Structure 1
Amino acid sequence: MNLGKVAVLMGGASAEREVSLKSGEAVLKALLSRGVDAFKFDPIDSPLHTLSELNVDRVVIMLHGRGGEDGTIQGALEFMNIPYTGSGVLGSALAMDKIHTKQIWQTCGLPTANYRVADKSSFDPTSCKAIMDEMSGTVMVKPAREGSSIGMAKVSSANALAQAVKTAFEYDNQVLIEQYIEGDEFTIGILQDNALPSIRMSTPNIFYDYAAKYQDRTTEYFCPAGLSEQEERDLRALAERAFSVLSASGWGRIDAMRGANGQFYLLELNTIPGMTATSLVPKAAKVAGMSFEQLVMDIAATSFDKNFAVPKEVR
């Protein structure tokens, strides 16, 4: 596979910059170890159009969060006619928005937790008690377009909900209020549109938050996840379907919960998951018999799936 000259996009200006830099450095190191002509590119340091001047053949996107996963960078690269890894403009934009993600999954008949949307311009804190009653007394509060659990909270009272929504509004004008599913949490990596072995997570924290993901050493990961063969097949099939209906492509990660009734509920799709030492997709790939370096090369290969060409006269 001749990747040519490869720019690894990392860093950026989102709230997930720190994680993005760690992911990008790990991916860059893996590419270099395989003899790829790769280099670091941080949009904070250089204008994006510099990629055209550098005669880049393709881009491996390791930008997490807004500006990297929301279709913005994907559209710019398409305009410059530079192939890139992962989902395209539409899939990236849809998956970045947790509210639109859930609406599409519901429309397609896929299981996801009950929810309500809070809009900064019209949210009434006095509605919190009714929301809590409707959702069985415990909810997750999530900014609609943030990742890495930034701005999230688990609450069990009307007063706590009002405060959590207020805090989440600091990150986004729309907030997802989602009924909490009591049960095991799973994540399913997707590589070249196929599901990897599922991972079950266990943390002593209130929920699988930023610290549990990137800082604590108390989080436990189980892969195999302890499911029966049929449950594993069902969960992987659900993840692949959830990935597909959002127009995602290439690679990503689906998060899900299993309720007390055994039903799996979809939480969200991450189109550019972390690739740090503690990240989940590399863990699943290892169980599938794949080294970190091979995983990175397979992710890079998703850039060959892009089939676009902006006419020269409009570039």
Structure 2
Amino acid sequence: MAHRISDSQLNRALHDLPDNAFVMMFGGLSTEHDASLAGYRNICANLLQGDGSAHLKFAIYVGRDGQIFRVDGPDFPASETELRRLQPLSFDELAQLLRNEDAFVFNLLHGTGGEDGVFQGWAEVHGIRGSFGPVLPNSVGMAKWVTSAVAEKFLPGLNTPQTMMVRRGIADRALRDVPLRFGSRWVVVKPGSMGASLLTTKVQADDATTLAARVAEIHRFDDVALVQEFVDGQEYSCGVIEVAGCAEPLPCVRITTGRPFFDHEAKHRPGAAHHTIVDDDLAKDLQCKSADLFQVLGIFGWARFDYLVGADGRVWFLEVNTLPGMMAGSIFPEALAASGRTFSDLIRLLAAAEAATHRNHRVLRYEIGS
């Protein structure tokens, strides 16, 4: 199945895009607040360096406590101390402001309370234009065990690691079944709906004490912990953007690290991981899989898909990020640059995708007999 569009189609799509002025929302209540803040700083730096023609009108900072602040330029403050000195807004005032401005909103609220359908629903109810996308794909994307089930259902032959759910409240009973399922093999214990590989560790399945401790730590932040078979393989990631109604895969990235796997430290400590753009048959296969998943899951605008490839060449789908990280050194910005596109191009393409979104009729009147 072909997903790429021709250069002439792309150039025509970029030429016909709407106004490049946008508003950015960042920060948030989630555990990924710092990643969002770092992404905001990186985007501002790129825009100041003359990245294309996108213009940031103002930004909206959502504090760790839920307070909202309007951030104006030309020198957009970058530290939390500066940001929290600004005049706070209520949610009602924010909705009215964004409606009145009628500017495209670039959503950079990662994780729970931003990437999981919460702000997507808020934006839809209030009629706010932006990169939020529909509620369902974002909610599914944040629930890793649901994503895997949907992906396997609609893309037969796609491999996903064997996984057990451990819900808060019934953890003791579920954990007793772990060695029955996995024996003494290595497993990965991770949150069901948190990003950035936070609290993700490698444990032996029959190490009951360590397993219980890791799950208890996750349950402080997430209702669901996942115990997943450890797949020893090479990590890959592939971004996808929506261009003129098509799922357009970005160049594929191979990730190498000296860590036991691509964990939180490998992702966020400079020099702990190395990214390589690859263009071989495997990369093309991952690009096709990513574009298919993008369409199957009904994702809006952009996303990043993560995989493991075993020594036998078997491909394992891990998860999707419906709001990829935009920090300096993050995978998605590197792949975007390798495709020859700038952040400004991304904003323009997202705005065009939002403008072309079909709005279904909401009212179908019918009579209910007495």
Distance in 2 between the 1:269 and 1:132 partners? 25
Q: TM-score, normalised by structure 1?
A: 0.89
- Match for residue 122 of structure 1? 170
Q: Percent identity?
A: 28
Q: Which of 263, 266, 281 is the matching residue for 1:209?
A: 263
2:89 maps to 1:56 = no
1:190 Cα deviation from its structure 2 partner: 0.8
Q: Which of 71, 74, 82 is the matching residue for 2:128?
A: 82
Q: Following superposition of structure 1 onto structure 2, how do residues 57-206 of structure 1 map, counting pairs within 5 Å?
A: 57=102, 58-85=104-131, 87-108=133-154, 109=156, 110-123=158-171, 124=173, 125-133=175-183, 137-159=185-207, 160-192=210-242, 193-206=247-260
Distance in 2 between the 1:15 and 1:86 partners? 19
- Match for residue 58 of structure 2? 39
How many equivalent residue pairs? 307
- 2:152 maps to a residue whose letter is Q
Distance in 2 between the 1:310 and 1:76 partners? 19
1:235 Cα deviation from its structure 2 partner: 1.0
- Match for residue 288 of structure 2? 237
Distance in 1 between the 2:166 and 2:230 partners? 16
1:255 Cα deviation from its structure 2 partner: 0.4
SS at match of 2:251: coil
Q: Which runs of 5+ in 2 are unaligned?
A: 1-16, 69-88, 363-370
1:77–1:292: structure 2 CA closer, same or farther, 3 Å change rule? closer
- 1:6 maps to a residue whose letter is F
2:38 maps to 1:22 = yes
Distance in 2 between the 1:30 and 1:38 partners? 15
Moved more, 299-308 or 183-192: 299-308
Distance in 2 between the 1:310 and 1:53 partners? 24
SS at match of 2:228: strand
Q: Which of 309, 330, 335 is the matching residue for 1:258?
A: 309
Distance in 2 between the 1:152 and 1:115 partners? 14
Superimposed CA distance per residue, residues 52-94 of structure 1 (whole angstroms, 9 cap, x where no aligned partner): 4322322100011011100110111111111211532111111
2:328 maps to 1:277 = yes
Moved more, 171-180 or 71-80: 171-180
RMSD between aligned residues: 2.3
Question: Which of the two has greater strand per residue?
Answer: 2
- 1:26 maps to a residue whose letter is N
SS at match of 2:27: coil
Distance in 2 between the 1:156 and 1:300 partners? 46
- 1:85 touches 1:301 (CA, 8 Å); kept in 2? no
Moved more, 191-200 or 301-310: 301-310
Distance in 1 between the 2:177 and 2:21 partners? 54
- Match for residue 8 of structure 2? none
1:307–1:156: structure 2 CA closer, same or farther, 3 Å change rule? same
- 2:18 touches 2:352 (CA, 8 Å); kept in 1? no
SS at match of 1:8: strand
Q: TM-score, normalised by structure 2?
A: 0.77
Distance in 2 between the 1:127 and 1:246 partners? 31
SS at match of 1:111: coil
SS at match of 1:198: strand
1:30 Cα deviation from its structure 2 partner: 4.5
- 1:105 touches 1:111 (CA, 8 Å); kept in 2? no
- 1:217 maps to a residue whose letter is G
1:217–1:289: structure 2 CA closer, same or farther, 3 Å change rule? same
Larger C-alpha radius of gyration, 1 or 2? 2
1:18 Cα deviation from its structure 2 partner: 0.8
1:300 Cα deviation from its structure 2 partner: 4.4
- 1:31 touches 1:38 (CA, 8 Å); kept in 2? no
1:245 Cα deviation from its structure 2 partner: 1.8
1:177 Cα deviation from its structure 2 partner: 1.3
Superimposed CA distance per residue, residues 1-51 of structure 1 (whole angstroms, 9 cap, x where no aligned partner): 333652201001110001101212333454574252521102332333333
- 2:142 touches 2:194 (CA, 8 Å); kept in 1? yes
Distance in 1 between the 2:297 and 2:200 partners? 23
- 2:193 touches 2:222 (CA, 8 Å); kept in 1? yes
Moved more, 204-213 or 258-267: 204-213
Moved more, 195-204 or 215-224: 215-224
Superimposed CA distance per residue, residues 190-237 of structure 1 (whole angstroms, 9 cap, x where no aligned partner): 11121111101011122212221122313111112xx63x32221111
2:19 maps to 1:11 = no
Distance in 2 between the 1:37 and 1:137 partners? 50
SS at match of 1:196: strand
- 2:130 touches 2:354 (CA, 8 Å); kept in 1? yes
